[in-house]
Structure 1
Amino acid sequence: MPAPTRPSPPPLRVETRRVVLVGMVLWAVALVVVLLLGDRLDRVWTWTCVCGLVLAAGGLGIMRWQKQG
């Protein structure tokens, strides 16, 4: 494998907690919209929003746990 011609850029410093929280807010807004639309949409969209919130909450828990360890 040939050596890279230029060095890799430095990693970006991203506050992942803030990114996950913004994602949770977006999922929550989507859930409210889906609930307001009621029977006009399939229930799979409601559960998709709920799963997005649950997975994000789990991600926050894992991030908190890894910082302690």
Structure 2
Amino acid sequence: MKIAPIVDPHVRRPSPKPMQVDLRKAFILGTVLWTIALVVCICCWQFGHNLWFRTSTVICASGVVIGLLLLVWEFFDRSDYRRLGK
């Protein structure tokens, strides 16, 4: 019966273990993409296409700053993360 796990939780299959991922790769990739977008915005401003310069530059710079902060957080949290994953 398909609704049996909803009615009786003991019928459910056990949950799979969470996958261990390397957060550095994800944070570095995101930070690099935000940095590229920031460089594109600055280049567009230099060539005179300044329709959305302030807004897009602030958004891209915020993405870079958040990415760097996440890399710092991951550096200090890495030992706890690996310990819990085992």
Query: Which residue matches 1:53?
Result: 64
TM-score by length of 1: 0.81
Give the alignment's Cα RMSD to 1 decimal. 2.0
Long gaps (5+) in structure 2:
1-6, 81-86
Residue 30 of structure 1, CA deviation: 0.7
Residue 63 of structure 1 is matched in structure 2 by: 74
Matches within 5 A, 1:1-69: 2-3=8-9, 5-38=12-45, 39-67=50-78
Q: Which amino acid aligns with 1:19?
A: A
Q: How many pairs were matched up?
A: 69
Unaligned runs of 5+ in 1: none
> Higher Cα Rg: structure 1 or 2?
2
Structure number with greater CO (CA < 8 Å, separation at least 6) is 1
TM-score scaled by structure 2? 0.68
Identity among equivalent pairs (%): 30
